[in-house]
Structure 1
Amino acid sequence: MSTLKKTAIWITLLALFLKLSGFLRESIVARQFGATEFTDGYLLAFSFITLIVAMISGGFNNVFLPMYVKHKKDRAEETERNANGVMNATVMIFLVVSVVGAIFVPYFVPFIFGNMSPTTEEVAVKMTRLFFYAMSGIALNGILESYLQGRRIFVPAQISKILATLMGAVFAILFSEQMGIYSLGYGFIFGTVVGIFIQFYYLLKSGFSWSPTLLVETDFRKAFIALIIPSLLNSVVGQINMFVNKAFASGTGDGAVTYLNNASLLVAIPNTIYATTIAAIIFTLLSEQVDDKKKFQNTMHMGMMISLVTLLPIAVGLFLLGKEALTFIYQGGEFTAADTQNTYIALVLYLPMIVAQGLQFIVSKSMYARGKTATIFKISVTTIALNALLNWLIVDDLGYPGLAVTSSAVAIYYLTISSIVVYKDFERSEITRLLTLFVRVLVPTLLMAVPIYLLKEFTIVGELHYLIRLVGLGLLGVVLYVAGLYLFYREAFRQLLALVRRKKGQPNKS
């Protein structure tokens, strides 16, 4: 693709379609299976898929991409050969994991998740075994995304993700009577396989030549292993926290895992779109600019600005209209109004994560681009203890909402410590610029939020059909926020426009 504009537009549209596909799947699950032991078992099993995706898209990509970009500049042929070896070796490792994991599923699933009902445990074990059979393919799908991103090819990876998600929904519609909730797993696997072929086709089309080799140059291998170990451990830390949360949730009553999952899916929309679009592009730029301190700082600040400008109003908007959104997506069939209210409680408590995780994407990517994987791991590993301690202290009293509280608290802690580490290496003016950013974004956000709150709570608007409130007040919020941004923070308004106009590799300075 010739310009960043074309790339950003395509992957943003595809990311939006991906989330719509995800909600189509979850809506089908909610209406056909409700918030039950079956859905809890399915969601617990899907945690292992999330683990592998995090290891590859996070742990693997955060190390491979900077190394690939750096070495390809001077030693293109050798780098491509090393890339082949790394890909093949990684798939072989996950093939072994698939076999061993499938054998021992009945033992480690009950151990990890603890207090499950018999039905939840049966579904979780069977679904986890199904996913482990396909684990090496799921890993390869993520690896191909990293290789394409290294070549500045972003669209095929989004198409692959859409297929995996959409096929889960399609299979649930077509085969749920025959396969039950397991139709979701078969659909996900089918879509993943098709996505592998699509990504591999575009990788070969870009000039990549695959060869069946496991050989990697000694220097490249040593450097890769030295960085990949702490990076993978860091990605596992996040999943350990997730497993801890789901283990606590499985003991707080039927449907708790589903309430938390459905709320977190809505909260994850902004960051999923952001991470697969703007953050992915910014990470590529940071990897290329690591030797130019001024450009590096400017690009990072641009990322922090875009994160806050886009994610803070979304978080506030979900607080105001989240119940209407949940009603539209989930409520109906087996998913009742009471289920929607329980999900909204979790949603509100998850909202700080939207902003915290969006900013953390940029902070972490800047550290990965500079090869500081060990530092990230040292910080993130402390979140395990904090997460477990907070869960132990408050979950018994608050129930499943306590898990949302701990997740948000840990996300804020992680962002704070990471930012301190990063900004201590920058000029002091960068800290001032960051703090000023928070204040300037708050003004247009309040200009948006206050009128919507007043209209909803104190006028007839609050009595209208939920869909009218969702669409009407949502559009009003967008107009008010854009107007406020233009009036009170014109620099950010212009930079957002400039982001999609400039050529790739030419970061806009602020």
Structure 2
Amino acid sequence: MKEVFNLKSKLGLASILFLFATIILKMSGLVRDMVIAYYFGDSYIADAYLAAFIIPNMIILFLTTGMKNALVPSYIQNLEENRGSEHLGQVFNGTVLISIILSIAGTLLARFYIPILYPEFNPHAKEIAIWVSVILFSSIIFVGMNAVLEAFFDSVNKFSLSMVSQIIVVVSTILGAVLFADEFGAYSLAGGYLIGTVISLFFKLVLVIPKKVMKVRKNFDWLEIKKFSIIFVPVGLTVAVGQINLTVDNIFASYFEEGVVTYINYAKNLVHFPQAIFGVTIGTIIFPIISKAHAKNDNDLFKKGVEKGLVMMFLIVLPSIMGLMLLMPNIVEMLYQRGAFGSAATMSTSEVAYFYFGSVLFFSLHNIVNKGFYTLKKGHLIMLTGIFAIILNIILNYVFTLWIGYKGIPLASSVMALFYVGTCFLIFIKLVGGINLKFVGTEFLKVTIATLLMSAVVLWSKQLFGVMGNTVLIIIIVVIGCVTYFVIAVLLRIKALTVLLNRFSPKKFKKNSH
């Protein structure tokens, strides 16, 4: 167990740096949304940009997140066989070729698929969406190369470098809008993203070329590329499931009044903030550990790593989401209500956000489960389940939007997430021969009790300090909520908290807590 849980000796510094870089990345993402809200509000221009970003971003996630989930265990396995640089070089070569094909296809097809996906957009919005898509698809070539190098950084526990390179892209997007929004409108955002991918690639190449970590000049080994692609493609498509569902959400949103696409995207980004920070962080840190356990055929160590990941995820994400929900109108107003984004848009975004609660909770837990699938090279199982999730999401969107209008879109996402993640969890348990459900269930119950008690204190505090300004109120409530939750968690003796504290404490975790 020391190999899994002694993070201080193995991954302590790397984990802290990664968490810090992740927070900066997600904060810069919020700043990007704030800039879009300031310049374009909830107008058709904002709707067009956000809608146009969906399809290219699907390819981006297919390459980036899919590459990490496929390459980390694959590279570690080849590293054990003393051929890591050859394998990395072949994956790089193959990815460049795939990226070029996807980039050309996307730029050529944009004029056809935008009108099909968003028939209710006015002509100006359609034109903006088409050219934004063309610019973003032009960046796919650089995205592909970036994806391989980021996956390499993760596999050698250099998590923060991967995050820093993504921060470069987000900052470039923000600067593009700030400097050129008045002149080029939404195109300034897409152009900033394209330039950011180029700068990010140069940043990585400067770090990896001197170390000669991959052999890219070697001829294409089509057999090895094919072998990796058989693993990568299902994994990448699985990652794209979330983006496909977001496309479904945006298509349904486009049939409502101007601004609904904007509300859906801002609310989703904001509510998924805890998942984007803690969910991705815990999942990324655990991935190399369980991959090494699997490479050494230590099934017990592998399952215990997944169990600890689940309870730590629930420990952090549940109270974070609950606190976010209780402060949602205040947070939306503080972040977005300025410039072209008015109070009515704030209220609409807040109302949409409430219905995304289940989505972020279930998909956060899924971050751990899918790492287990990817480690076992069973990504195709999630892909098959993902197809079911897409169909279910379409049906639920149709039913719920008829029932409660555009608020049914996030509700459909939450209900779909429950069935999707639940199904994947049951398949995973059967695949690995069971896990310690008593331990996981007991920890989940304790965390739920602590979260409910914290919520009661937060509601009382919100009434007590409600006369204060938004920023001061949010800071006070966050401090009170965190302290309250920590004290209750200690009193309830939540084992996940003990594991988490020991990971960052000077003392080694000497005893398995279950």
- TM-score band, normalised by the shorter chain? over 0.9
Confirm or deny: 8 A CA contact 2:11 2:157 kept in the other structure. Answer: no
Can you give the 5+ residue segments of structure 2 that lack an aligned partner in the other structure? 1-7
Q: Is the 8 A contact 1:485 1:492 kept in 2?
A: no
Opposite residue 260 of structure 1, the aligned amino acid is I
Given the alignment of the two structures, is residue 62 of structure 1 paired with residue 69 of structure 2, yes or no?
yes
The alignment status of 1:27 with 2:31, answered yes or no, reads no
8 A Cα contact 2:443 2:496, kept in partner: no
SS of equivalent residue, structure 2 residue 213: coil
| Separation in 2, partners of 1:283, 1:143 | 16
Structure 1 CA distance for aligned equivalents of residues 93 and 255 of structure 2: 41
Q: TM-score, normalised by structure 2?
A: 0.93
Which of 178, 181, 184 pairs up with 2:183?
A: 178
Residue in 1 aligned with 2:331? 325
Match of 1:38 in 2: 45
The 5-angstrom pairing of residues 63-142 of structure 1 reads 63-74=70-81, 76-77=82-83, 79-142=84-147
**Distance of 2:509 and 2:372 partners within structure 1:** 16
Correspondence for 1:280 among 284, 307, 313 = 284
Q: Indicate whether 1:437 and 2:437 are aligned.
A: no
Per the alignment, residue 229 of structure 2 pairs with: 225
Q: Which runs of 5+ in 1 are unaligned?
A: none
Contact between 2:39 and 2:339, CA under 8 Å: does it hold in 1? yes
> Relative to structure 1, is the Cα distance of residues 5 and 48 closer, same or farther in structure 2, using a 3 angstrom cutoff?
same
Say which is worse superposed, 390-399 or 294-303, in terms of deviation: 390-399
**Which runs of structure 2 are paired with 1:337-356 in the superposition (5 Å)?**
337-356=343-362
- Per mean C-alpha deviation after superposition, the further-off stretch among 330-339 and 430-439 is 430-439
Say whether the 8 Å CA contact 2:499–2:509 is kept in structure 1: no
Please give the per-residue CA displacement for 1:450-473, whole angstroms capped at 9, x wherever unaligned.
01112334x4x2233222221111
Query: Which segment is superposed worse, 383-392 or 206-215?
Result: 206-215
The partner residue of 2:381 within 358, 367, 375 is 375
- Give distance in 2, aligned partners of 1:471 and 1:324: 11
Whole-angstrom CA distance in 2 between matches of 1:2 and 1:190: 38
Report how far residue 331 of structure 1 moved. 0.5
**1:493 CA drift (Å):** 2.1
1:258 partner amino acid: T
Q: Determine the C-alpha separation between the residues in 2 that align with 1:507 and 1:380.
A: 38
Which residue in 1 is equivalent to 2:209?
Answer: 204
Pairing 1:334–2:337 present: no
Distance 1:49 1:156, change over 3 A: farther
Distance 1:126 1:507 in 2: 58
Deviation, structure 1 residue 286: 1.1
CA distance in 2, matches of 1:56, 1:318: 31
Matched, 1:241 2:249: no
Rounded Cα–Cα distance in structure 1 between residues aligned with 2:435 and 2:180: 59
Offset from partner CA, 1:61-88 (integer Å, 9 cap, x none)? 22222111112102x23x4213212211
Q: 1:337 to 1:108 in 2, by over 3 A?
A: same
Using the TM superposition, give the Cα deviation of residue 160 of structure 1 relative to its aligned residue in structure 2, in angstroms.
0.9
Are the aligned partners of 1:31 and 1:333 in contact in 2 as well (CA < 8 Å)? yes
Q: Which amino acid counterpart does residue 22 of structure 2 have in structure 1? A: A
Q: Please state whether the residue corresponding to 2:327 is helix, strand or coil.
A: helix
**Deviation at residue 228 of structure 1 after TM alignment:** 2.4
**Is 2:194 the partner of 1:189?**
yes
Could you tell me which of 9, 14, 17 is aligned with 2:16? 9
Larger displacement relative to structure 2 (15-24 or 493-502): 493-502
CA distance in 1, matches of 2:139, 2:218: 22
How many residue pairs end up in the alignment?
Answer: 505
Give me the whole-angstrom Cα distance separating, in 2, the residues matched to 1:138 and 1:187. 14
Compared with structure 1, are the counterparts of its residues 188 and 503 closer, same or farther at alpha carbon in structure 2 (3 Å cutoff)?
A: farther
Worse-superposed segment, 290-299 or 461-470: 461-470
Residue of structure 2 equivalent to 1:394? 400
- Structure 2 residue aligned with 1:295, among 289, 301, 305? 301
How far is the alpha carbon of 1:283 from its aligned partner? 0.8
| Contact 1:89–1:214 (Cα < 8 Å) also in 2 | no
